[in-house]
């Protein structure tokens, strides 16, 4: 009688599929590589650790800046609409947009995908998005991990995490100390919701009477704008004093993180150019204060600079993402002073 042996495959983990995926990752990740990423003497994908040659960057006093993040419950929206090709861009964006706040240029990225069962078509779409995000950010995808975890994740469920590393010359590091009284605050438009506030979005979507049009679906899944290219140019010109990535906590909560203790901010809410998707969300019985601290409301990134640099900075951005002034650095009794009303 043939024995019925227990195997890893029977437990829900298919190593043969995993091996196919590694080969695929090895092939597509090379689209993001540069000369200092892989040589004949070392290969990143398939090795135990990943290598990046910093000496090729020729920076005298380099500082390493790192960031890790995920895309939160936007993953559940991707599952709901069965759209997986852009969620990887979100993953890269949420990490690299944090690096550029300190003046760092992203150099490499690693991902972690945990999933109930390896479905190659789904994971390949996610990975293609990650590669696209890395190409936009100008960084290399040099490693990662894909974990098949039956029992930990329910059927069709998965999670993503990213880890990005950037580099900046010590003298060019952006700190709070560079921000001055009367500096202007410029809002750089977002591409949409980015990857924040989706637990509230999902709560709203539970309303069966809600008409979810194809346009709304597209807006909800629109990938996070990656601001690296423009900020790299601005940083070379040395015309900004500070900046903020508008993520969880909204516009005010993230701006205040980069303001020196003795200074404050004054923001004219009426100046914010609100995108239609936020107006649609607002109609679902959400207060202005809740909208501001949960969503970016149309502002994906902020730049703080001397007013004489405004025109120079605007020229660097395309028409769609042209920055505009929403406030200034002040000396108020309160840390955040707002005036005007959001124009829904």
Q: Could you tell me if 36 and 142 lie in one domain?
A: yes
Domain span including residue 291:
176-339
* 87 and 234 within one domain: no
C-alpha distances out from residue 70 to 30, 50, 118, 203, 310, Å: 23, 21, 19, 20, 33
Token readout for 161 is 């995490």
Q: Per the domain annotation, does 48 fall within a domain? A: yes
> Residues 6-27: pLDDT tens digits?
556 656 666 666 667 667 667 7
Give Cβ neighbours of residue 96 (< 8 Å, ≥ 6 apart).
Answer: 67, 106, 109, 133, 137, 139, 164, 166, 226, 228
Rg (the chain; Cα; Å) = 22
How far is the C-alpha of 243 from the C-alpha of 258, rounded, in Å?
Answer: 7
Residue 226, domain member (yes or no): yes
Parts of the chain with a pLDDT under 50: 40-41
Which pairing describes strands 158-169 and 105-115: parallel, antiparallel, or unpaired?
antiparallel
Q: Is residue 67 part of a domain?
A: yes
The CA distances from residue 268 to 240, 277, 279, 291, 337, in Å, are: 21, 21, 18, 16, 9
**What CATH number is associated with residue 34?**
3.30.1330.10
3-class secondary-structure state, position 332: coil
CA 80 to chain centre: 21
**pLDDT of 212:** 84
Q: What is the pTM of this model?
A: 0.91
DSSP string, 199-233: HHHHHHHT-TT----HHHHHHHHPPPPP-HHHHHH
Nearest to 162 by CA among 257, 85, 97, 76: 97
CB 245 within 8 A of CB 318: no
Domain count, the chain: 2
User: What pLDDT is recorded for position 316?
Assistant: 97
Does residue 2 lie within any of the structural domains?
no
Res 41: pLDDT:
47
Do both 191 and 312 map to the same domain?
A: yes
Task: Tell me which long-range contacts 285-292 makes (C-beta under 8 A, separation of at least 24).
Answer: 286/200, 288/341, 288/342, 291/342, 292/250, 292/251, 292/252, 292/342
Sign of the C-alpha dihedral computed for residues 314, 318, 322 and 323 taken in this order: negative
Residue 208 shares a structural domain with residue 84 = no
The SS3 call for residue 31 is: helix
Distances, alpha carbon 307 to alpha carbons 185, 186, 256, 264, 325, in Å = 9, 10, 19, 17, 10
Specify the pairing of strand 324-330 against strand 184-189.
antiparallel
**Pairing relation of β-strands 299-305 and 242-245?**
antiparallel
pLDDT value for 47 = 63
Q: Is 10 a member of any domain? A: no
Residue 8 is assigned to a structural domain of this protein:
no
Instruction: Give the C-alpha separation, 271 to 343, whole Å.
Output: 8
Identify the domain boundary among 172, 188, 220: 172
Give the residue from 144, 175, 155 showing the smallest Cα distance to 257. Answer: 175
CB 265 within 8 A of CB 182: no
pLDDT at res. 27: 75
How many angstroms separate the CA atoms of 198 and 190, rounded? 16
- Among 142, 172, 202, where does a domain finish? 172
């Amino acid at each position: 009688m043939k024995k019925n042996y227990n195997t890893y495959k029977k437990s829900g983990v298919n190593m043969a599929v995993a091996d196919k995926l590694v080969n695929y990752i090895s092939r597509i990740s090379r689209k993001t590589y540069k000369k200092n990423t892989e040589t004949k003497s070392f290969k990143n994908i398939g090795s135990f650790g990943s290598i990046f040659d910093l000496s090729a960057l020729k920076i005298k006093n380099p500082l390493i800046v790192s960031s890790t993040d995920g895309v939160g419950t936007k993953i559940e929206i991707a599952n709901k609409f069965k759209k997986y090709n852009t969620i990887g861009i979100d993953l890269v964006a949420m990490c690299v947009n944090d690096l550029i706040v300190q003046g760092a240029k992203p150099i490499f990225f690693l991902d972690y995908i945990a999933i109930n069962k390896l479905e190659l078509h789904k994971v390949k779409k996610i990975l293609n998005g990650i590669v696209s995000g890395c190409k936009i950010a100008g960084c290399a995808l040099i490693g990662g991990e894909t974990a098949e975890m039956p029992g930990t994740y329910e059927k069709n469920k998965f999670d993503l995490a990213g880890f990005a590393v950037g580099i900046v010359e010590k003298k060019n590091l952006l700190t709070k100390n560079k921000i001055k009284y009367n500096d202007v605050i410029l809002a750089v438009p977002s591409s949409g919701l980015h990857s924040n506030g989706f637990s509230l979005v999902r709560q709203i979507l539970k309303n069966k009477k809600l008409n979810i049009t194809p346009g709304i679906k597209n807006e909800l899944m629109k990938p996070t704008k990656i601001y690296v290219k423009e900020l790299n140019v601005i940083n070379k010109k040395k015309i900004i004093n500070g900046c903020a990535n508008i993520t969880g906590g909204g516009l005010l909560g993230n701006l205040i993180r980069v303001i020196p203790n003795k200074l404050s901010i004054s923001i004219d809410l009426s100046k914010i150019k609100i995108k239609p998707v936020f107006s649609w969300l607002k109609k679902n019985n959400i207060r202005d204060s809740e909208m501001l601290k949960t969503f970016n409301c149309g502002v994906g990134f902020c730049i703080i600079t001397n007013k004489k640099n405004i025109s120079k900075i605007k020229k660097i951005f395309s028409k769609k993402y042209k920055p505009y002034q929403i406030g200034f650095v002040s000396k108020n009794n309160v840390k955040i002073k707002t005036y005007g009303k959001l124009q829904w």
